[in-house]
Amino acid sequence: MVDLNNIKRGPIMLALIVGMFVAALNETLMGNALPELMRSFDVSATTVQWLSAAYLLIVGVLVPVTAVLQQWFTTRQMFLSAMTLFFIGTVVSAVSPGFGVLLGGRIIQAIGTGMMLPLTMNVIMTIYPPEKRGGAMGMLGLVVMFAPAIGPTVSGLIVDSLSWRWLFYLVLPFALLSIIVGLAVMKNVSEVTRPRVDILSIVLSTIGFGGIVYGFSKAGELGWSMPEVIWTITAGGIALALFVWRQLLLKEPIMDLRAFRYPMFALVAVLLFVLLMTFFSSAIMLPMFMQGVLLMTAFKSGLILLPGGVVNGLMAPISGKLFDKFGPRVLVIPGLIIAVASLWLFTRFDETTSTGFLVTVHIALMVGVALVMMPAQTAGLNQLPRHLHPHGTAILNTLQQVSGAIGTALYFSIMSGGQKQHLSGVSDPQSPAEIIKGLASGINNAFWIGFFIALVALVLGFFLRKGKSPEHEQAAE
């Protein structure tokens, strides 16, 4: 382990940022290409959606295990392994002769991404002192928010003019650059303690988080009454309860839930879980509204979402610097108010909504999210002692995956129910105009639920304080 006081943080941040850029970009790059892949491989919509669902599932399963992996392997080993796996998965996907090979490549990519997400946050928490973490997390936020924002636009442009394989060819140079930079500058900044690995905990974690993410993802597609959905969510819930119970009994848990003893961390975990349910789901509902109700092309809908994503990315480092200076409340509460107001405006959307109104409201939502996300995460993690940082980052990243799956399933079911209810009350339910009106009604219902969920997040935000870790408090004394 190197001396953290003399470490050169800039080169390490460069390697992390390049790696996170390609990993984050890859999460949204496939969306507009799915119809083209259905034609290329002659597969159905339910089959092709596994390119996205399997990615989410693998990341959700792997993230909880990264806390113990970071205690067994050095920072350099973890980073290079993650980016090498991501690079291999990208190559496999790019040259895949059939759908099964493409899916395998996406799974390998997801393993690399699942290792990168918590590793990056933990390294930042380790190499930066508390008073500078906001700015560093803001730079990470710039990449994490900007890359997914440009994904749909880039993929729409590539699919319209080139082969879908270029979606992976485009990523390869960036992944290779990240590996080269990592080889040159990445240092070992974490302590390798090699705790005993509890295999039963890993099994329970995999079944628990995997079952819940899979079950809720399928609920949005199939409906809540299907046996496949009921049994996977039930099995996941039971396994997750056993996992939590076992972690509290073990002296060396793979995910130390004692992090929830720190009130600011616990509050941030709940706040982000609630907010991200709305954020992820709105990101899915908006393209469906634009393409299904306003009859836009995938490329145009991506272009409309681009300004909000760019503004969100640019706001992230600014909010990080402001966090270092003023603390979380000055940013988080206004951000939540803006997000709530934006979601209320979403409920005004209908068949006559203008492009300018869409762009403006989406930008407002992205500004609100930028003021909340990284400042809240930093405030929560700052209260944890150093040995809990790997566990804290793993917990927050796992909750993000689970909240995305739950929120998406909830919104899809509300949307479907609203559309069916509208069509059941009209004389010609097969009419294209009525189908569009029904879809608009269902999406409107989903946005109303999002608005009320965001109100819950706003209430939680008023309890947020600037916490300090035990080490920092002792140093101050």
Q: Which residues contact 73 (CB under 8 A, 6 or more apart)?
A: 81, 192
- Work out the angle at residue 244's Cα, subtended by the Cα atoms of residues 239 and 245, and round it to the nearest 5 degrees: 95
pLDDT at 361: 92
Number of structural domains (the chain) is: 3
Same domain assignment for residues 156 and 178? yes
First-residue to last-residue Cα distance in the chain: 27
The dihedral of CA 391, 397, 402, 403: what is its sign? positive
How far apart are alpha carbons 392 and 376 in whole angstroms? Answer: 13
**317 lies in some domain:** yes
Q: Are residues 320 and 247 in the same domain?
A: no
Please indicate, yes or no, whether residues 167 and 40 belong to a single structural domain of this protein.
yes
For residues 204 and 167, membership in a common domain is answered with no
For residues 464 and 332, the answer to whether their CB atoms sit within 8 Å is yes
3-state secondary structure 335-385: HHHHHHHHHHHHCCCCCCCCHHHHHHHHHHHHHHHHHHHHHHHHHHHHCCC
Calpha distance 109→64 (Å, rounded): 17
464 neighbors 356 (Cβ within 8 angstroms): no
Which residues fall within 8 angstroms of residue 326, CB to CB, at 6 or more apart?
none
Residue with tokens 């919509």: 45
Angle (nearest 5°) at CA 253 between 250 and 258: 90
**Which helix (H) or strand (E) covers residue 130, if one does?**
none
- 39-63 pLDDT, tens digit per residue, is 788 876 667 767 776 777 777 777 7
Q: Are both 284 and 232 inside the same structural domain? A: no
Average pLDDT, the chain: 81
Residue 208 half-sphere exposure toward CB, CA atoms < 13 A: 21
What local confidence, expressed as pLDDT, does residue 202 receive?
A: 83
Burial class (CB in 10 A: 0-12, 13-18, 19+), 425: exposed
- CB–CB of 133/382 below 8 Å? yes
Give the pLDDT confidence of 68-87 residue by residue, as tens digits. Answer: 777 788 888 888 898 899 99
Distances (CA, A) of 339 to 132, 331, 442, 459, 475: 26, 12, 21, 13, 37
Residue 329 resides in a domain: yes
Give the DSSP letter of residue 306. H
For residues 29 and 131, state if they share a domain.
Answer: yes
- pLDDT, position 98: 87
**205 and 274, same domain (yes or no):** no
Length of the chain as a residue count:
477
10 Å Cβ neighbour count for 462?
A: 10
End-of-domain residue from the set 223, 253, 283 = 253
Contact 7, 189 (CB under 8 A): yes
Query: Which residues touch 39 (CB under 8 Å, ≥6 apart)?
Result: none
Q: How far is CA 134 from the centre of its chain?
A: 19
Helix (H, G, I), strand (E, B) or coil at 194: coil
Per-residue pLDDT of the chain (477 residues; tens, 9 = 90+): 455 566 777 778 888 888 888 877 777 777 667 767 777 888 766 677 677 767 777 777 777 777 777 778 888 888 889 889 999 999 999 998 888 898 899 889 888 888 887 788 778 877 777 777 777 777 777 777 777 767 777 777 777 777 888 888 888 888 888 888 888 877 777 777 777 777 888 888 888 888 887 787 777 667 778 888 889 889 989 998 998 898 888 887 877 888 888 988 899 888 888 888 877 667 777 877 887 888 887 678 778 878 887 887 788 778 878 887 887 888 889 999 999 999 999 988 888 888 899 999 999 998 888 888 878 888 888 888 877 887 887 788 778 777 876 777 777 778 877 888 888 877 777 888 888 888 888 888 888 988 898 899 899 888 887 656 555 544 444
Measuring CA to CA, how many Å separate 71 from each of 85, 113, 132?
20, 18, 24
Contact 465, 347 (CB under 8 A): no
* Angle at the Cα of 435 from the Cα atoms of 434 and 439, rounded to 5 degrees: 115
* Pairwise CA distance, residues 336 & 414, whole Å: 23
Residue 289 lies in a domain: yes
Task: Please tell me the predicted confidence (pLDDT) of residue 12.
Answer: 81
What is the model's pLDDT at position 45? 60
48 and 128 in a common domain: yes
Query: In what helix (H) or strand (E) does residue 73 lie, and over which residues does it extend?
Result: none
282 located within any domain = yes
Q: Is residue 58 part of a domain?
A: yes
Instruction: Say if 477 falls within a structural domain.
Output: no
**Residue ranges making up the domain that contains 203:** 198-253
| Residue 475 belongs to some domain of the structure | no
CA quadruple 222, 228, 234, 240: dihedral sign = negative
Q: What is the helix (H) or strand (E) element at residue 97, kind and residue range?
A: none
CATH of the domain at 273: 1.20.1250.20
Instruction: Among 190, 223, 243, identify where a domain stops.
Output: 190
Q: What are phi and psi of 309, to 5 degrees?
A: -65, -40
Instruction: Label residue 365 exposed, middle or buried (CB < 10 Å: 0-12, 13-18, 19+).
Output: buried
**CA 9, CA 151: separation in Å to the nearest integer?**
28
Please indicate, yes or no, whether residues 116 and 182 belong to a single structural domain of this protein: yes
Amino acid 334: pLDDT: 92
Boundary (domain end) residue, out of 190, 219, 242: 190
- Please indicate, yes or no, whether residues 49 and 94 belong to a single structural domain of this protein: yes
* Residue 476 covered by a domain: no
Domain match, 244 and 325 both? no
Query: Which amino acid belongs to residue 66?
Result: T
- 319 & 368 share domain: yes
Number of other residues whose CB lies within 10 A of the CB of residue 427: 6
d(CA 189, CA 449): 43
